[in-house]
């Protein structure tokens, strides 16, 4: 586990629920936080580097570490994930996978050339409630999907400073928009066109954004994300025969309302294991043990297309990060497609 913040703590609790997992090492910039986290969760080793702030290098060099979970701020994802892959470790990295598409493509190239597993940890994609949404849409109960509306927002004034820091990749887009986007893309695929507007801070990052995704079929998705305003935090998917709506919050729903025009409206509820991260961790374990370099549920192409969409949206909003001016120095072949191992397309819910 790289980092010791709130997300790292929640994910670690769920890693400990896996039968095949051993908590081997945790890294932090400071000694106190690394040691406290290791003691709290029972890690065998605490790694830190008080001089350079790169304790993760000790972690990736540990021969007992098989998989690295990166829970650091966005702007550090590329550097840490790249170091782990070059050290021969499998990587599961918090969303967004990197700051921009160039960095994502480089990581994919390294993972592909070395036969290592790499996955963006979009945990929502693996939840029982979300898998049920795909089942309902595939059944045809709601007809053809034509419109999606999803919002995720809350006042984040007291949240981690990194959410407001351009150096850390702050802003609503990389932190929040991936969740409503996950539901839109899952229902309609990636769009032909994206229109984006945002309200920026004095430092030039988006504190609020609105995305309109449009498709050649005529379908559309309206997505709203905010770090300054509260919203319903739900998603509505509307079709020619009815609609469904997630419970709140849409990134971790345990309830669905389904309203077919030719039937009774119903509410479906779903039990959840742990904090909700267990499902993506099970998938990563399954793929690694099966020798798959990527998850068919959360593929490399999905992550790359997401980052390209975000690059486009940021360009329209006028958001630019310092990392955008640094070109990755790849240690793997360029263009991951020629080096990918074929994996099956997703077919129904996870085992």
pLDDT at 347: 31
pLDDT at 42: 97
The mean predicted confidence, pLDDT, of the chain is 92
pLDDT at 160: 67
Domain shared by 86 and 63, yes or no: yes
Higher pLDDT, 337 or 153: 153
Confidence of residue 337 (pLDDT cuts 50, 70, 90): very low
Cβ neighbors of 85 (< 8 A, separation 6 or more) are 91, 107, 110, 111, 114, 116, 118
pLDDT tens, position by position, 7-16: 999 999 999 9
As a whole number of angstroms, the distance between CA 313 and CA 331 comes to 29
* Alpha-carbon torsion (133, 134, 138, 139), positive or negative: negative
- H helices of the chain, where? 6-15, 31-41, 56-60, 74-86, 101-114, 128-139, 172, 178-188, 278-290, 300-317
pTM confidence score: 0.92
Domain shared by 13 and 102, yes or no: yes
Domain shared by 150 and 46, yes or no: no
* % of the chain residues with pLDDT over 70: 91
Of 248, 269, 290, which one is at a domain's C-terminal end? 269
Domain shared by 218 and 304, yes or no: no
pLDDT tens, position by position, 283-334: 999 999 999 999 999 999 999 999 999 999 999 999 999 989 887 665 544 4
Q: Which residue has tokens 């407001």? A: 164
Domain shared by 214 and 322, yes or no: no
pLDDT tens, position by position, 45-101: 999 986 676 889 999 999 999 999 999 999 999 999 999 999 999 999 999 999 999
Nearest to 122 by CA among 154, 97, 100: 97
Number of domains in the chain: 2
Q: What is the mean pLDDT of residues 27-44?
A: 96
Omega into 249 within 30° of 0, i.e. cis?
A: yes
Confidence of residue 25 (pLDDT cuts 50, 70, 90): very high
Domain shared by 31 and 107, yes or no: yes
Of 215, 239, 269, which one is at a domain's C-terminal end? 269
Of 269, 285, 315, which one is at a domain's C-terminal end? 269
Q: Answer whether 204's CB lies under 8 Å from 320's CB.
A: yes
pLDDT at 345: 32
pLDDT at 93: 98
Alpha-carbon 134 to chain mean position = 18
Whichever domain contains 183, its CATH number is: 3.30.360.10
Confidence of residue 340 (pLDDT cuts 50, 70, 90): very low
Task: Give the range of the structural domain holding residue 164, as residue numbers without chain letter.
Answer: 128-269
Q: Answer whether 267's CB lies under 8 Å from 257's CB.
A: yes
Q: What is the mean pLDDT of residues 32-40?
A: 97
SS3 label, residue 157: coil
* Alpha-carbon torsion (176, 177, 178, 182), positive or negative: positive
- Does 281 fall in a domain? yes
Residue 232 has pLDDT above 70, yes or no: yes
């Amino acid at each position: 586990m790289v980092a010791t913040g709130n997300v790292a703590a929640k994910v670690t609790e769920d890693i400990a629920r896996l039968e095949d997992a051993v908590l081997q090492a945790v890294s932090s910039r400071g000694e106190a936080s690394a040691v406290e986290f290791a003691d709290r969760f029972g890690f065998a080793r605490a790694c830190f580097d008080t001089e350079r702030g790169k304790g993760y290098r000790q972690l990736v060099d540990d021969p007992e570490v098989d998989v690295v979970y990166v829970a650091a701020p966005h702007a550090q994802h590329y550097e840490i994930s790249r170091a782990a892959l070059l050290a021969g470790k499998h990587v599961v990295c918090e969303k967004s996978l990197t700051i921009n598409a160039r960095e994502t493509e480089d990581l994919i190239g390294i993972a592909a050339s070395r036969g290592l597993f790499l996955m963006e940890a979009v945990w929502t994609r693996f939840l029982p409630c979300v898998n049920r949404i795909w089942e309902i849409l595939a059944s045809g109960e709601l007809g053809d999907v034509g419109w999606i509306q999803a919002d995720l927002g809350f006042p984040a004034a007291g949240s981690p400073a990194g959410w407001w820091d351009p150096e850390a990749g702050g802003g609503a887009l990389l932190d929040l928009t991936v969740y409503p986007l996950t539901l839109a893309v899952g229902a309609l695929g990636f769009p032909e066109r994206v229109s984006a507007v945002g309200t920026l801070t004095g430092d030039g990052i988006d504190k609020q954004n609105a995305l309109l995704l449009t498709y050649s079929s005529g379908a559309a998705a309206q997505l709203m994300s905010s770090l300054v305003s509260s919203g319903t935090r739900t998603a509505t998917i509307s079709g020619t025969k009815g609609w469904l709506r997630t419970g709140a919050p849409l990134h971790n729903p345990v309830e669905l309302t389904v309203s077919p025009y030719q039937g009774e409206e119903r509410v479906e509820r779903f039990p959840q294991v742990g904090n909700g991260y267990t499902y993506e961790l099970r998938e990563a374990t399954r793929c690694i043990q099966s020798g798959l370099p990527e998850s068919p549920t959360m593929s490399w192409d999905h992550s790359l297309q997401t980052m390209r969409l975000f690059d486009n949206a940021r360009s329209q909003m006028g958001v630019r990060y310092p990392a955008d001016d640094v070109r990755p120095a790849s240690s793997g072949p360029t263009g991951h497609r020629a080096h990918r191992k074929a994996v099956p397309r997703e077919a129904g819910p996870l085992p």
